[in-house]
Amino acid sequence: MWILVIYDICDEKRLNKVARLMESYGQRVQRSVFECELDKNALRRLQQQLARIINKDEDAVKFFRLCNRCWEKCVVLGQCARALPLKEIEII
């Protein structure tokens, strides 16, 4: 399944740990946004590892599950790293 992970981490040390961990699970598409193709076990493992790093009173991590059809409907304008290339859609 495709998961979009976004985060806001207040402490630089925790931020660096989260970023390194995320790089092992997916592809960075923006500074604090990753696209990941994960099965349920990998997603659970990622969430457990993140829970040990973040401060739940100060930080936030959100996971958005995208079905394949939603993933394929994603529109990309300009240069954007993608875990899978998508066709650019012409704007009318």
> Average pLDDT in the 71-82 region?
71
Whether the model pTM is above 0.85: no
Q: What is the pLDDT of residue 84?
A: 52
CB 32 within 8 A of CB 7: yes
Question: pLDDT tens digits, residue range 7-59?
Answer: 999 999 999 999 999 999 999 988 999 999 999 999 999 999 999 999 999 99
Q: List domains and CATH numbers for the chain.
A: 2-72 (3.30.70.240)
φ and ψ at 37, to 5 degrees?
A: -105, 110
Q: What is the pLDDT of residue 85?
A: 52
Q: Which of 2, 46, 1 is CA-nearest to residue 21?
A: 46
Q: What is the pLDDT of residue 71?
A: 78
